[in-house]
Structure 1
Amino acid sequence: MLSNYFTEYENLEIHELMLKDRPRQEAYYNAIVKNKELFKDKVVLDVGAGTGILSAFCAQAGARLVYAVEASNLATRVALDLIEENGLTETVKVIHSQIEEFVLPATAEKVDIIVSEWMGFYLLHEGMLDSVLYARDHFLKPDGQLFPSECTIFVAPCAVPSLFDYWQNVDGVKMEQFAKKLRLQKSTRPEIIHLKPNDLLHEGIVFHWMNLLDVDSKDLDEIRFKEVVSTQFAGKHQGFCIWFDVRFPGEEAITLSTSPLAPESHWKQCVVVLPEENCEHLEENSPVAFTILMKRNPNDARKYNLEVELLDPNVEEHPVPCSCHMTKCILTEAHLKMMDTS
């Protein structure tokens, strides 16, 4: 019996949303079809093939054989039709199975490439990366490649005007008290929203980086990060914005970014909203000290709990050099400049 996770993906509107996401589509198309030399005559495994469009890209790029493995009934309802409609049945084999139950044909070698669109909100939501790593460990040749191959999670202090500023004047009516109650109701989980570039107080720092050829599933159970960051822009500090980039192999080195600075995608950004009493206006070069914890939910391995704690920047150790306006950092930076010129 399929879990709710797989049956939810039988809703075609979910796939409509992803297929109309141009940054997503263009990144995968360019990474695969514009790197034909990597796919020519290769055997490919598409993990969580969905509608089958990535498998079709691989066939168009010259793959000799593609295993399109899809756990939901979408495999027989949609993917088979897509492969037949495009005349690719000789190359693409649609297989209705969870990847953990998939078995290569007895005479088959391991695959040259694994392709998958596994990313969820803040990268790891939905826990599908575990299935990709299982496929890597069981089906990928030692010198095989993963598409995508690297991923980076970023974090930045930010403003959240849709939860704060909007309610100061709604058609001439103040709704501050309603906004406080709304933020309290929303405080139990992160917000998945689109931020504008000028909502960021910093362009973003690397929270976590992974090479998917090396990472282990156990490494995904808990990711902890601690930093003091100096704001690059003045603004209201109302939360922390989390987003991700993934990078594909190939000469063109295609990157798919979900940053507020990049074209909008269906992943949007993940924002952990600060409690009311911690929100303040920060000037440029203000230090923000914090820890962030991304931990797998013990009751649902496909979800994560996100926790952010504000720390005292007067107590915490700052990076060197640090561009914040605290005296010790100004003096350190000046000393480093003198050393460089001497």
Structure 2
Amino acid sequence: MPTPFLARAVSALRRFFGRPPSAEDAHRDNNRLYFSGMHQQERMLADRPRMDFYHTAIERHIHPGDHVIDLGTGTGILAAFASRRGAARVHALDHSPILKHARSLAVDNEIKNVDFISGHSSKFTLDKPVDVILHEQMGDYLFDEAMIPNVCDLRDRLLKPGGRILPACFEFYCEPVQLDTTRHVPFIWNLNVKGYDFSSMERQRPQDTDYYRLCGNDGTLVEHFLAEPAPALTFDLHTVNEATLPKDLRIQKTVTSPGRIDGLVVYFRTTVDDDLQLSSAPHDPGRAPHWGFRILRTEPADYALGDVIEVSLTVARWHDVDTWRWAHAPAAVSVSTEPALV
């Protein structure tokens, strides 16, 4: 997940030179810088569940003679998998400087039928459509790398009727959790340290949205889920559109493991052929480790067995997590527990 510091630095430069950045500009600049770093590429390549998932999906669903777009190719490894599977041509897109390494790696590995294209996918065109769009556009919050607008734009312009998107089927989770007591850090206004009361600090609540979100890679940070996990939202990239995504999710969760709610854990799962899954869930033994799960911090509250919690998540723009707002409360009215299907 790109760091806010990079986006702010680039935004400051834009302001200095007289052009205020749009949210889309900031996001693209952030991604361009973040994914050009060797360490981030190392983390993705060394993520065995991630690489196993993609290698298997490509072996199953890219066929000799296929024409393929690899969106966000990075070091080009997924494009290379597709090439070795027999794809006639792979168009590997990326707007990061990492593309120079992808080109040299392809030469070193004798990959000859991949075209590496520098620039944003929205500017890419072809004379005829492709058979497959291959991508890895999932962020820690699932939506925060603009997966839906980017993939759907290519789908609508450049994918053959009946063509395939890999991966396409996603589940988004937003679950109430209690965090590990020894490592949980409450809001400062909830602290009383040996009689020194910090409650007055609530009047000084930070306005920085990053303050209210945490990132975790160690699943033991989540002591337990208060309810049985179930997707809050499911969608298929073959049919979804950004405009059809709900902006207001309200889900009831029945408490099966009593405890204190410290936040809402956000993670995703994607599936190919029902039996091939990739997950960022904190307690999934096969979770893909380079993704962090995200904690949306909340005011604490204790819930007993059988209590019903209403979780709400309201967004203005799914790909911009600064626009997300969330809450929990004891449920007062009946709200659907089924995931939103889009």
TM-score by length of 2: 0.77
CA contact (8 A) 1:157 1:239 kept: yes
Structure 2 counterpart of 1:247, from 271, 275, 285: 271
Structure 2 counterpart of 1:143, from 162, 166, 190: 162
Structure 1 counterpart of 2:229, from 181, 204, 220: 204
Structure 2 counterpart of 1:259, from 254, 262, 281: 281
Residues of 2 paired with 1:320 and 1:256: CA distance?
A: 24
Structure 2 counterpart of 1:289, from 310, 313, 322: 310
Give matches, 1:6-45, under 5 Å: 6-33=32-59, 35=60, 38-45=62-69
The residue matched to 1:93 in structure 2 has which SS? strand
Q: Deviations over 1:78-109 (max 9, x none)?
A: 111121121111x21212222111122x4xx3
CA contact (8 A) 1:150 1:209 kept: yes
Gaps of 5+ in 2: 1-24, 187-192
CA separation of 1:20/1:94 partners in 2, compared to 1, >3 Å: closer, same or farther? same
Gaps of 5+ in 1: 168-173, 322-342
Structure of larger gyration radius: 1
Alignment pair present for 1:273 and 2:297:
yes
Residues of 2 paired with 1:19 and 1:229: CA distance?
A: 36
Shift of 1:166: 7.0
Residues of 2 paired with 1:10 and 1:142: CA distance?
A: 34
The residue matched to 1:159 in structure 2 has which SS? strand
* Partner of residue 173, structure 2: 154
Alignment pair present for 1:134 and 2:153:
yes
Identity, % of aligned positions:
22
Alignment pair present for 1:308 and 2:326:
yes
Residues of 2 paired with 1:8 and 1:98: CA distance?
A: 15
Shift of 1:295: 2.8
Q: Would you say how many aligned residue pairs link Structure 1 and Structure 2?
A: 298
Residues of 1 paired with 2:279 and 2:195: CA distance?
A: 34
Q: Deviations over 1:121-140 (max 9, x none)?
A: 21011324311111111110
* Partner of residue 334, structure 2: 317
Shift of 1:287: 1.4
- With 9-18 and 109-118 compared, the bigger mean Cα shift is at 9-18
CA separation of 1:316/1:140 partners in 2, compared to 1, >3 Å: closer, same or farther? same
Shift of 1:318: 5.5
Structure 1 residue ranges (4+ consecutive) displaced by more than 4 angstroms after TM superposition? 162-167, 174-182, 184-187, 301-304, 318-321
